[in-house]
Structures are given as structure tokens and as C-alpha cells.
Structure 1
Amino acid sequence: MAEYKAPLRDMQFVLNEVFKAGDLWAGLPGLAEVVDSETAEAILEEGAKLTSRELAPLNRSGDEEGAKWVDGVVTTPAGFKEAFATYAEGGWVGLGGNPEFGGMGMPKMLSVQFEEMMYSANNSFTLYPTLTAGACLAINAHASEELKSQYLPNMYAGVWSGSMCLTEPHSGTDLGIIRTKAEPQADGSYAVTGTKIFITGGEHDLNENIIHLVLAKLPDAPAGPRGISLFLVPKIMVNEDGSLGEKNAVSCGSIEHKMGIKASATCVMNFDGAKGYLVGELNKGLAAMFTMMNYERLSIGIQGLGCSEMSYQSAVEYAKDRLQSRAATGPVEPNKAADPIIVHPDVRRMLMNIKATTEAGRAFSTYVGMQLDLAKHAEDDVAKAKAEGLVALLTPVAKAFFTDLGLENCVQGQQVFGGHGYIREWGQEQLVRDVRIAQIYEGTNGIQALDLMGRKTVANGGKLFGLFAEEIREFANSGAAPEEFSKPLVDAVSKLEELTHFVIDGSKNNPNEVGAASVEYLHAFGYVAYAYMWARMAAVAQAGVEGSEADFYQGKLSTGRYYFKRLLPRIESLAAAVRSGADPLFELTADQF
């Protein structure tokens, strides 16, 4: 399998040339003081070294060894503990964390690119620190100053980890029916009792303590999601002086045996009257937990993107080396027994599909990161409100579209290898297994599509969609991009707008229209969003084709053209499916299935 090489030039292109991150950060209080283009470039270069030298070499061995559970103790594969120590020493856990408590305070535009490197190098390892970073985000946003001061410094430092405890055996998507209870104690703490399943990093040996964020209900809480509260429950109690005390009543009952991400411990966690502390307000825990969940949803979307990149790197290397048959136009390498398979149209189709969507996805993840930075740091109320609206609209798209294409791309990368892609030693079969979970956890992609179509679009009459459509049209009509990109982009966003209002209107008479349209609508949305990204990249690339990096920029233009001609037309069939309505889904009775 190819050795992972971080696509630094492409990341710098997106960050510095397409979105001009340095100029943006210079105008945002809170970022201007901590980061500029040179700092960001240095961080990405160090991140590339860490992921390629420390994490990627553990990927296959970690998959083969897996996490192990014995009598409640979870052991990670050989090398993971040492790699995590190196990771923590570099300050990477707190890359985007609050500087007041030891974080680095770096922008999201930068951290999404580092996360892509992480997922490309080693999916299982990456889940441990990203869950911690998400837990830190929720604690920083909602916990008391006392809890923040007591827990965040060691979590940012990687001395302690974090986990997110939502799902129960009977309660997955419908968190309103959870049974975990929290009973108030005289000292202001709560006794938390219940069982949580599918808890990533709920138990491991990477560091000395794990801080669980647990959803639970008080005995007299309102029914449904309005009665959920959020609690911080440490694995080992923390004394007033910050030292570790006695073990809390938290235990790991088992770990799951999974299709992929085998070095990531997916735990059954038992809370038996464990001491916990309220985070945020009583009965408003779900809203607080969404701070972490939305972070994790974008992160898991990037898992799909990172796997696509690694699959592409391996497939391209193989396609240039593997000799099979002659090119249809005649021998390309007549001195060899056959030509490399990259000469064949179908191999090129698969490689171009991966390349075009991965590069667009990288731009889109950076774009969403930019909106998160604006939502957090912008002083202008209008700009802040627009960014917040776009974050709400685009988060489910990023999570679901990245990961749906992530599986499609990894399967195509595997296909390039033919029979060798099915063999363990080449690495493609592991990528297919690892990326598959990304469509399922942190809210299944069907739920993400329903969120986009229902809550983020129909519920507000398409207001949030209008923000995005207006921005796309403004750019397309600005003359910045070549007409071969801007003209079909305007046409595509108009078709998506018509589709949006078709579903909004249809839902007034039939509520099932929302769910029936949601998945195809999200995919159509994703393809249009990627077209917008390619138009923005083409605007920059056209100016560079006469310079010293002409080959790089010409490659961008050619890849963008492929996207517009071969992939963007998929929106036509997706729109036709949406317009068929809900009726075809409900013609069968339950007994006829």
C-alpha cells in the first residue's frame, strides 16, 4: 500500500489562495493575535510529519491487533500509547481549544485540514483525540467556570481524554426515551445510573483519566427530549487540588467486535450511581450536547474525506505501476509487456471520480470551517448571523455527503486494484471497512438528510437555503470564474432552488414528502455545493496557468471540468426521484414487504 503523504500543496491552495484565510483571520478578533498564514503553514507541515511518521505506520497493525477487553480493562494496540503521548506533547488535542485553559485557539479552517490528515493516516487512532476535543468544546461552552478550570487544562494537554455517552440499548436516534437517571445529592453533585452503548473511547489505556459527558434524566424530569440533562462524570474522581482520587462508579462492561475501526474501543459503559456534575442547565442537556455532536458530525464527515484521499493515493500509485493490456489507441509503453492500467478509460473514470470529489470536499470542509470561524469571531452582527445560518444548513450536508462519497470512493479505489484490492496487504479493503461506519454513527446519514430537508429547509420556508443560493449566484455572476464554470453553476443552483420549493409546497399537503425527498435532496445539494467549490477553485487556477506552477493549476482546471461534465449532471436524476413524490414509497402495505 502507498505510504500516506499529506496533500500539503492542495491544502495550501484551498486555505491561502481560494479562501485567503490569512486576510480573513487578520480581521477577526481572537484569531488575529494567534495565527497568520505562516503559522498555519508551519502547523500543517508539522501535522503532515506527525500523521505520516507516527500514525500511518500503526494503521494496519492496529487493525490486525485491535483493542482488547479483559475484566473491564481495555488495551489499545501496540504503539498507540506511545503515539498518543507524542501527539499530546505536541499540543494537538488542544489545537482549537480555548487559550484561557491551555488550548492553542487555532481557527476551524486550519483544524479541519489537520483532521483530514489524521483520518487519512489512521481512522481508529483519530477517534480518541477528536472525541476529547469535542468534549472540551461542550465543556467550554456550557460548564461552570469551576468545571472548566478543573478539567479543560488536562484534557487539552492530553493527560485526560473525553467521551460522549448518548446511546442506550433501546434508544439511538430517539434520545427522548433514554432511561439513565441522575439523582441530586446533598453536595450539589448527582448520582448517575444507567447503561450506555457504542461509546467510542469509553475505556482505554492511552492516558490516566477519561471524562464522560453523559445524557441522563432527573426522576421528576419532563418526558421526552425536554427532560434531558448533561452531566460530567469522571472515570477517576478529581480532588480539589487537581490530583486524582478514588475510582468513580463507572465501568466498561465489554467492547464491540466490529467490521472496521477495530483499534478504536467501542464500549458498553455502566454507570452505577457514579458521581457527576451538571453541565449547563437542568433539562437543557440535549442542546448543550449538540455543541459536541455538531463538532463530531463535521469531524466524521472529514473521516469520509480522509479515507477518500488515502484510497486515491494508493489507487493512483497502483494504476501507474500495474501493467495490463494495451491502450485502445495503441501501445503507450511499447518496450514493456503491457501498458500501465492508468491508460484505460474506466480506470481513469474511477480515479477522476475520486480526485474531483475529494478535492471539492477539501474545499467544502474548509468553507464550513470558515463559517464556524465567522460565527464565533465576527464582530459584524449580519456576518455572524449569516455564518450561523450556513453552519446550521451545511453541517448535515458535510457529514452525510462526505461519508456517502467516502464509501463510494473507497470502493472505486479498491476496484482499481482488481483482485488485489480484495487482499489485505494492499490496504484498500481496510479503508472500505473503516469508512463504512462514518455513514452510521454521529447520526445516520438518513437522519442528517431529514435534518437538512425538514428542520433546516422546510421548517423555515427555505430561508437558510436562500442564504447559500444568494451567495452562489453572487459569485457566479461576478465574473471571477470562467464562463464554462459560472454558467452551469447558475443553472444548477436554480434547479436546486426549484426543487427546494417543490418539496416545501408538497409538504403542506403530505408530511411524508419531507422524508421521501430527503436523501436524494441532500445529494443534489451536495453536488451543487461541490460545483460552487470548483468554480471558486477555477477562478484562482485560471490566473495561475501561465506561471511557474502551470501544471498544478492546469490540473485544477481539468479536474474541475471533469466534475462539471461527468458528475454535476447527477443532479438531474436525483431531482427526478424527488419529484416522483412520496406515493411510490407507500404503495406497498407492511405485509407486502
Structure 2
Amino acid sequence: MADYNAPVKDMKLALNQIARLTELSSMPVFEDASDDMVSAILDEAARVARDVVGPTNWEGDQTGLKLDESGVICPECFRDAYNQYAEGGWGSLQFDPEFGGQGMPYLLSVSVMEMWQSANMAWGLCPLLSQGAVECLSINASDELKSIYLPKLISGEWAGTMNLTEGGAGSDLSQVRCKAEQDGDHYRITGEKIFITWGDHSLTENIVHLVLARLPDAPPGVRGISLFLVPKYLVNADGSLGEYNNTKPLSIEHKLGIHASPTCVMGFENSVGYLVGELNRGLACMFTMMNNARLGVGLQGVAISERAYQQALNFANQRIQSPAVGHKEPGPIMRHGDVRRMLLTMKALTEAGRALTYDACGSIDFSHHAEDPERREKEKARAALLTPVVKGWCTEFAQEVTSLGVQIHGGMGYVEETGAAQHFRDARILPIYEGTNGIQALDLVGRKTLMDKGEALASLLEEMRATVAAGGAFSALAAQLEAAVVAVEQARDVLLSGSAEDPQLPGAIAYNFMMLLGTVAGAWELLRQAESAAELQSQGEDDPYLAAKQVTTRFYFAQILPRYMGYLEMIKSGSATITEMSDAQYASAWQ
């Protein structure tokens, strides 16, 4: 198994040339995010990811988890890695200095989070969920709750979770039955939640659960759901930990992947909870955390793809096989054309996804901190549009990339000891949790396109056309991008014009619409990076990475971008072939 090495050069190019970190750093609120500081943070995070977190990946997968009367027992190596993470202040980068944060851009924290997810995705889910909890409480909680819980969550002394779904509910949160009853200035929470990531563990002294529950007189459906903060241990007036709060892991799931991430069935029995936000507005509050988590899951798709690519590249350099074309002697398999195709597919998709993810996260920073209110609104709409694409497209290609990683290893890829299979197994959860990719696709065509009549999408396509119009060293690629943008417009027109007459149309074409936009947006991000790389070369920089970026971009345009034509044709075919089969006909062959 190859060690993980953070692709810091590619991260910096995406941060500065795509996601506009340099512009963010010029704002007074981010004056500490100088080039030197950013480089120092990325370099040290890369070291910690490689030397501290990375070595726990295989051991954690093989050791797994145990549940006894004391709760969930994690692999011992996880505790040391987490302690170093917390002591290094890594969980505090983007948060408010009032509560112990460092006040850095969210965008910078995203690149650091990518490193943790590549190094060990099962471990990295713990800080990912905690940071989402901080975001949710920062926006929705009372000042009193913030003062008690945010400093400990930001420091990493405590961890956070989100408790949404229940048995039989799945993604339909209107089915939530967990009960909340008022008891003085707090509430009593009773019920069970399923699929709770890092619901219980031994890494921190307290766990802060954010729980969706319903009061007895609440309206039906999602309109009657409230959000409550339910700590594992109550907090005394002096800040010390008090009584155990009856938050119990009833079982842990035995999963295909992320074996060392405790996915719990959580039981709450008359547990003390504190209202977050307004009564019956819990889902709106929780969406603060869910949107953060959806971008985080898209980032995981990039991260696990990077890890799989690095391992496959290492194997392809070491595995000696028969002579390749142009060679007389046996040599490394990466000399063979098909292996090179697979490696470049892995590399190109990963780098395109990284740039797209960072771009969306940069818009979130600008939506909060841009001086012009009109620009803040535009950036907010831009981030909202890109979020389901990042979550959906990046986790879909992670299935392809990690599978190619197994394929490059050949038979040895199917053997657990090489580690390639772990990346494939771990990646499979990504299109499922934090809203399945079908839900992301419906969000993209529904809330993000139909509701505003394609306005946010049109604005994004204008940005792509501006790149085409700017010309530069890649005019042939720009012409290809222009044709792809036209295809997105055609798909948009099919959606906007056909949905009123055919209510089945949005759901039928949603997945292909998401994949079309992701594929085209990935090409756009790579083209902009290639232009930047060529410009840096013209200024005298001779780093081989700059030439490699341009080769990667040409490969993407030749071998991956043409997929858009297939997505467009499937969109144009409408809903008929998807909806015409009756329920009975599905099983008709054996009845």
C-alpha cells in the first residue's frame, strides 16, 4: 500500500486560480490568510495527513469497531491521531475567533479537510460531522447554547453528530416520530435514530447530538419537526461534565465499507434536549448542517479518488509485466496504453472534481463576506446551484475512479491486502448518505433550475462563455467547451419547456442532467487551470506539474468531455421509456 501524499500543488492552483482565495485573502476579515500562512497551513496539514492520519487507514479497516456496555470502542490508533488533530487546532480554522476559531476562510478549511478524508475517510467523518454541527449552531442556536458548546466543539474536545432519519423513514423526514416534550426550560427527547455517523465513540469526552424530534401538538409532516441539542453528558454551570444523559448506542451497523466509522442506531430515553432555532422549524435549521455535509461528501468523493489514484499509480510503476509497444524488455505496466488510459481517467476526474468543489466552497465564503449585497446574493445562488452537482457528480465518478484502481491492480486489486479494495468499498457509501444522488439530481432540476426558471444556471453558463471568449493557448479546447455549453442550454430548455406538460419529466431526466452539468463544469474548471498553468510557464516557472496539468486537461477534453453528448441524447428522449413499463411487467419474466 502506498503512503498518501497530499497534492498540495494542485490544491493551491485550484484555490487561487479557480476558487479565488487570493481575493478572499484581500478582505479585512481574512487578513491573516496571507500566501505564506496558507502555504504553511497546507504543508503542515499534508505532513499530519501523511504521517499521523494516513497510517491508521488500513489498521482501522481491519480492526473495526466493538460495542459493549461502555459504548463504542474505536481502534486505538484513532485516538492518538484525533488527539494530535485536536491539539493542532485543525478543527478551528474557519470558525469565529469569539469561540476559539482562527477566522480563516471556509475555503481553506475545505482543502485541509480533503487531506483528512484521503488519509482515512472513516476517521475523517468524525471531524466532518463536528464541523457541520458548529455551522448549524453558529447560525441557529441561542447565545447561551453557543457559549457553552461552540468552544468545545471548535477545539475538538467534543464531537458533534446529526440525528435525522428513523427506521422506516429513510429520506422522508415527514415520517420522523422521535418525541420531544417540554420540561421547564428544556425538553425531554425519547425515540430511536438510525444510520448515525460517529453516533458514539471513545475519541472525545462528550458528544453533542443534533436531533430532529416532534412535539405532541406539532403540525403533521416536515412542518412539525423541531431541532434539539442533546449532549451525551449534561454540562454543569461551571462548564464541567455532569450526568449521563441517556443517549445510548443500541447497535452498530456492519457495513460494506468505512468499517472503522461507527454508524449507530441511537436510543434516547427521556434525554434532556435544548431547542435550536424556532419550534417546528427544525428541518430548516438542520439544512444548514446538511448543505455543509453535502459539500463535504462531494469532497470525500474527490479525496477517496485521489487516494485510489495514488495507490494505482504506485502499483503501475512497480508491477512488471510483458513488453509494451515500443519496448523490447518487460517493464512496469504503466507503459501499456490501456493502463495509461485508466490512470489518466482517474487523475483527470479527480482534479476536475477538486476544482469544482473548491469553486463552490469559495462562493459560500463570498456569499457571507462580499461587500456588495447584490454580489452576496449572486454567490449564494451560485453555491446553491453547484452544491448538488458537487455532491452528486463527484461521488458518482468516485465509483468509477476507485473501481479503476482495483482494475489496474488486476487480480491483486481483488485481494484485500493490497488496499485497493478498501477504497472501492469505502467510496460506495458516498452516493447514498447526506441525501442520495437521486435526491441531489431532483434538487438540481427542481429547486435550483425550475424554481428560478434557470437563472442561476444561465449565470454559470455565462461564466463558461467568458472563458471561451477570452481565448488563450487552448482555442481548440475552448471551441469544444462552447459546444458543450450549448448542450447544457438545450438540456435546460427541454426541462423548462417540457415539465409543465409532462410532470414525470424532471424526475426522469434529473440524473442525466446532473451528470451532464458536472461533466461540462469539470471541463471548464480544467481549462481555466490549464490556461493558468500555461501563463505561469510563460513567466518562467518550470515546475513539471504545470505541463502535466495541461496534458491532463487535453486528455479530459478528448476522453471524458464527449460523454456530455450521450447525457444530452438521454435527456432529449424524455420520460416515456422510463415510465411506460407497468409495475407488474418488471417481474413478468418469471411469473
* Code of the aligned partner of 1:31: F
Residues 129-208 of structure 1 mapped to structure 2, 5 A cutoff: 129-186=127-184, 188-208=185-205
The question of 1:71 aligning with 2:64 is answered no
The match for 1:582 is 575
2:354 equivalent to 1:355:
no
Measured in 2, the distance between the counterparts of 1:348 and 1:234 equals 51
Read off the aligned partner of 2:576 and give its amino acid letter. Answer: D
% of aligned pairs identical?
45
Cα displacement (A) at 1:96: 1.6
Match of 2:555 among 554, 562, 580: 562
Q: Indicate which of 92, 99, 122 corresponds to 2:90.
A: 92
2:589 equivalent in structure 1: none
Per-residue deviation, 1:503 = 1.4
CA offset at residue 29 of structure 1?
3.9
Q: Which residue of 2 aligns with 1:252?
A: 249
Question: Structure 2: which amino acid aligns with 1:590?
Answer: D
Is 1:353–1:409's contact at 8 Å kept on the other side of the alignment?
A: yes
* Contact kept? 1:423, 1:429, Cα under 8 Å: yes
Q: Distance in 1 between matches of 2:541 and 2:468?
A: 27
Q: Does 1:453 align with 2:411?
A: no
Counterpart CA distance in 2 for 1:129 and 1:109 is 16
Which of 532, 543, 563 is matched with 2:535 structurally?
543
Gap regions ≥5 residues in structure 1: none
**1:524-543 Cα shifts (integer Å, max 9, x gaps):** 00011101101111211222
Q: Deviations over 1:432-464 (max 9, x none)?
A: 011111111111111111111111112221111
Counterparts in 2 of 1:289-300, with a 5 A limit? 289-300=286-297
The separation in 2 between residues aligned to 1:209 and 1:266, in whole angstroms, is 17
> Over the residues paired in the alignment, what is the CA RMSD in angstroms?
1.3
SS at match of 1:581: coil
Matches within 5 A, 1:61-460: 61-71=59-69, 73-186=71-184, 188-331=185-328, 334=329, 338-460=330-452
Aligned 8 A contact 1:307 1:435 in 2: yes
Counterparts in 2 of 1:157 and 1:226: CA distance versus 1, 3 Å = same
Paired AA for residue 551 in structure 1: P
Structure 1 residues 20 and 278: alpha-carbon distance in aligned structure 2, compared to 1, 3 A threshold: closer
Structure 2 stretches of 5 or more lacking a match? 587-591
- The 8 Å contact of residues 356 and 559 in structure 1, kept in 2 or not, is answered as yes
Indicate if the aligned counterparts of 1:16 and 1:37 stay in contact, CA closer than 8 A. no
Kindly provide the amino acid, as one letter, of the partner of residue 383 in structure 2: V
Counterpart CA distance in 1 for 2:541 and 2:578 is 55
1:573 aligns with 2:549: no
Which residue of structure 1 lines up, in the alignment, with residue 49 of structure 2?
51
Query: Partner amino acid for 1:97?
Result: F
- Aligned 1:496-575 pairs, distance under 5 A: 496-546=488-538, 547-549=540-542, 551-575=544-568
How far did 1:110 drift? 1.1
Q: Which amino acid aligns with 1:209?
A: N
CA contact (8 A) 1:544 1:550 kept: no
Measured in 2, the distance between the counterparts of 1:518 and 1:446 equals 8
Secondary structure in 2 aligned to 1:270? strand
Structure 1 residue 10 and structure 2 residue 3: aligned? no
Assess if the C-alpha contact under 8 Å between 1:72 and 1:253 holds in 2.
Answer: no
Letter in 2 for 1:128: C
Kept in 2: contact 1:72–1:254 (CA 8 A): no
Report the Cα distance in structure 2 between the residues aligned to 1:18 and 1:97, rounded to whole angstroms.
Answer: 23
Deviation at 1:325, TM superposition (A): 1.5
Report if aligned partners of 1:191, 1:273 keep a CA contact under 8 Å in 2.
yes
Q: Distance in 1 between matches of 2:491 and 2:195?
A: 37
Q: 1:360 to 1:265 in 2, by over 3 A?
A: same
Alignment check: 8 A CA contact 1:77 1:263 kept: yes
Deviation, structure 1 residue 55: 0.8
Letter in 1 for 2:325: A
1:30 is aligned to 29
- Taking the aligned partners of 2:18 and 2:248, their CA distance within structure 1 comes to 48
Q: Work out the number of aligned pairs and report it.
A: 585
Q: CA deviation at 1:18?
A: 4.5
Q: Quick check: 1:479 aligned with 2:481?
A: no
Write the distance in 2 (CA, Å) between the matches of 1:591 and 1:144.
Answer: 53
The Cα shift of 1:348 comes to 0.8
How far apart in 2 are the matches of 1:406 and 1:108? 23
Q: How does 1:464-475 map to 2 (within 5 A)?
A: 464-475=456-467
* Counterpart Cα distance in 1 of 2:568 and 2:297: 27
CA positional deviation for 1:329 = 3.1
The residue type paired with residue 555 of structure 1 is A
Cα deviation, 1:541-566, whole Å, max 9, x if unaligned, reads 22233534253222111110111111
2: CA distance, partners of 1:106 / 1:69:
38
Structure 1 letter corresponding to 2:69: D
**How far, CA to CA, are the matches of 1:519 and 1:143 in structure 2?**
35
- TM-score normalised to the size of structure 1? 0.97
What letter corresponds to residue 92 of structure 1 in structure 2?
W
Per-residue deviation, 1:71: 2.6
CA distance in 2: counterparts of 1:16 and 1:585, whole angstroms: 43
Asked whether the equivalents of residues 250 and 269 of structure 1 are also in contact (C-alpha less than 8 Å), the reply is yes
Give the distance between the partners of 1:19 and 1:434, measured in 2 at CA. 28
**One-letter amino acid of the structure 2 residue matched with residue 50 of structure 1:** V
Moved more, 165-174 or 317-326: 317-326
SS at match of 1:457: helix
Give the TM-score taking structure 2 as reference length. 0.97
1:72 Cα deviation (Å)?
5.4
Instruction: Tell me if the contact between 2:92 and 2:155 (Cα under 8 Å) persists in the aligned partners.
Output: yes
1:275-301 Cα distance to aligned partner (Å, 9 max, x none): 101101111111110000011111111
AA of the residue aligned to 1:266: T
Give distance in 2, aligned partners of 1:230 and 1:495.
42
Q: Is the 8 A contact 2:209 2:230 kept in 1?
A: yes
Inter-partner Cα distance in structure 1 for 2:439 and 2:570: 19
Cα distance in structure 1, aligned partners of 2:470 and 2:536: 19
